[in-house]
Structure 1
């Protein structure tokens, strides 16, 4: 199984944000009887709706780069999932990897993908 850290190798900030904006537009146009759910690692279901998602800055307070996050009504200040590479990912799974040669954090960001991953680590 591949995880976002494996799939984001050739993804730019613009691609992430553009896909999320398209998804958000589709979500806003859906009928209320077409509910989507995200299953958390603890098997709790979260309704994905226009009122439970929002953009969060990827780099602290820098609003230039944003990712789409999913929140629960019980805790609207802590994301339970992020929308990356056209699907929802549990926050716990974002930095997992299927690459046996990756171990620990990368100390120096040489690529935009590495910078994205370091920022996601800060969101958790």
Structure 2
């Protein structure tokens, strides 16, 4: 396991070396999992950042589905023996990588907001969404949203900063189906889910993602943000619309599919909230 840890230390990370081959990735993981069922040497352990060692055997690993609409796309993960819902490592390219190494990159071109395209980037999105936000950085007492694994068809951008993935946002495309079992499609592009890691908050990154969304869909008269909008996201919207008054008539809080009866002006809502506080 020391050799595996050295891979990350040497600046080699999964997102930069994985082939865009979900089926091959799954088959390799299944083959490795089969060897665990036959028993592993006592020396086969993975060292956590805390110094604790997790034995690599069939009881400490499981498969996770990367996309909610493509159950065959799976990754093999190692879980914390003290909390079996917390993922601590991912199996890729013949070895285990800590979740933090899965989020890192050795490619200097990965900087800023970049569209998710490869399977490796989809794994990064999954770790950020389901593992980091879903288990490690979510305060259940707050009004944080809970994100399910994303659809393969969902458009997403990862925010890379100083060699690591620190956030993401996803969008629903105009015309894209609102959900399984429905023929209704979104009538406008929608800013759907957004997340920034705790250590990188209060740096204007949420604002940068909202700005990027508006610029990406510059030719559209109306843009949506999925309802309900969290209190933190309302603050981002307020700052953005104060700085960009030309966008005030374009941003709407929407319920699917975003027709006129399913949208509310975000700027109007902010103004009403402000007036209520003054009263």
Bigger relative CO (Cα 8 Å, ≥ 6 apart) = 1
What is the match of residue 94 of structure 1?
102
Question: More helix per residue: 1 or 2?
Answer: 2
| The one of 17, 20, 28 aligned to 1:7 | 17
What is the match of residue 48 of structure 1?
56
Gaps of 5+ in 1: none
Is 2:20–2:118's contact at 8 Å kept on the other side of the alignment?
Answer: no
Residue 38, structure 1, aligned to residue 36, structure 2: no
Cα RMSD for the two superposed structures: 1.9
Could you tell me how far apart the structure 2 residues matched to 1:65 and 1:87 are?
19
Would the alpha carbon gap of residues 105 and 122 (structure 1) be closer, same or farther in structure 2, given more than 3 Å must change? farther
| TM-score, structure 2 as length reference | 0.40
Which structure has the bigger radius of gyration? 2
**Could you say what secondary structure the match of 2:58 adopts?**
coil
Task: Give 1:77 deviation, angstroms.
Answer: 0.6
**Could you say what secondary structure the match of 2:80 adopts?**
coil
Task: Give 1:61 deviation, angstroms.
Answer: 6.6
| TM-score, structure 1 as length reference | 0.84
Could you tell me how far apart the structure 2 residues matched to 1:89 and 1:37 are?
12
Could you tell me how far apart the structure 2 residues matched to 1:117 and 1:17 are?
16
Would the alpha carbon gap of residues 58 and 21 (structure 1) be closer, same or farther in structure 2, given more than 3 Å must change? same
Could you tell me how far apart the structure 2 residues matched to 1:102 and 1:81 are?
22
1:1-124 counterparts in 2 under 5 A?
1-8=11-18, 10-30=19-39, 34-35=41-42, 36-60=44-68, 62-106=70-114, 108-124=115-131
The alignment of Structure 1 onto Structure 2 pairs a total of residues equal to 120
